[in-house]
Amino acid sequence: YLNLVEKIQPEVFVIENVKSLLNTSGGWFRDEILKYINKLGYKVEYGVLNAKRFGVPQARERAIFICSKSKDIPLPEGNENVVTVRDAISDLAYLQSAEGDFEQEYITAAKSDYQKLMRKDSKYLYNHKASSHSEKALEKLAMIPAEKGKECLPEELWGKQKFNTTWGRLVWDDVSPTIDTRFDTPSNGTNSHPELNRAITPREAARIQSFDDKFIFYGSKFYIRSQIGNAVPPLLAKAIADRIWEMYRHE
């Protein structure tokens, strides 16, 4: 990435990566990145941003570097106005396992300001299709009440997963934990629907990432999951872009 920066010489560039990048190996990776950025002649501000402070219904922490040739650009600060899972996806809470389609009509009204924002100018609902779970998975999900997870299953049904967060249900009135690329698998973590016996759909995951409903995902299930789970949440990206714009707009 920095080799490309060296060749292209942009005025501003941004690096995003996992939070642990800053401290792994005693900060060696962080320090190497900073040395390279400084060698290229850029000023840099860096730190950890949590997406939930920028209107995203998800506690997703990421290391962010904002780099500029001519300005010190501080990271955006965000606020304490939390958007919950309920705010994000309660209008989509009706599909069972294997139900839904690539394109369909909206059958409910928006129930929150966030849902209205996500639906704005979207004529149809896309990518709201539930995974087809096995009978065994459905039996396990039926044993797990709201806000609970693996701890409610008999120990012989825990499977090979070592993490306590597996088979967890999202909590309606809290933010989601980090959405990853396996959000359609209940045994992967806390990504089962708050009340229905299924994992969240790609559209629900996209809402939790703050992609609006006009953003349509194409490709195989694997590629759609990757596009959603690996993305920087758009509202977080917007906050970073707005901060950069603030620093340059009066020139």
Q: Does the pLDDT value for residue 184 go beyond 80?
A: yes
Give pTM, 2 decimals: 0.95
Determine what percent of the chain is predicted with pLDDT higher than 90.
Answer: 93
Whole-angstrom distance, CA of residue 62 vs CA of residue 80: 17
Per residue in 123-171, pLDDT (tens digit) is 999 999 999 999 999 999 999 999 999 999 988 777 776 667 789 999 9
245, exposed or middle or buried, with CB in 10 Å at 0-12, 13-18, 19+?
exposed
The C-alpha angle with vertex 230 and arms to 12 and 132, in degrees rounded to 5, equals 160
How distant, in Å, are the alpha carbons of 11, 43, 61, 240, 251 from that of 70?
Answer: 8, 7, 27, 17, 12
Strand ranges for 60-207 from DSSP E: 61-68, 100-104, 125-129, 168-169, 190-192
Strand ranges for the chain from DSSP E: 12-18, 43-50, 61-68, 100-104, 125-129, 168-169, 190-192
How confident is the model at residue 163, as a pLDDT?
63
Q: Does the pLDDT value for residue 114 go beyond 90?
A: yes
Q: Which residue has the higher pLDDT, 157 or 231?
A: 231
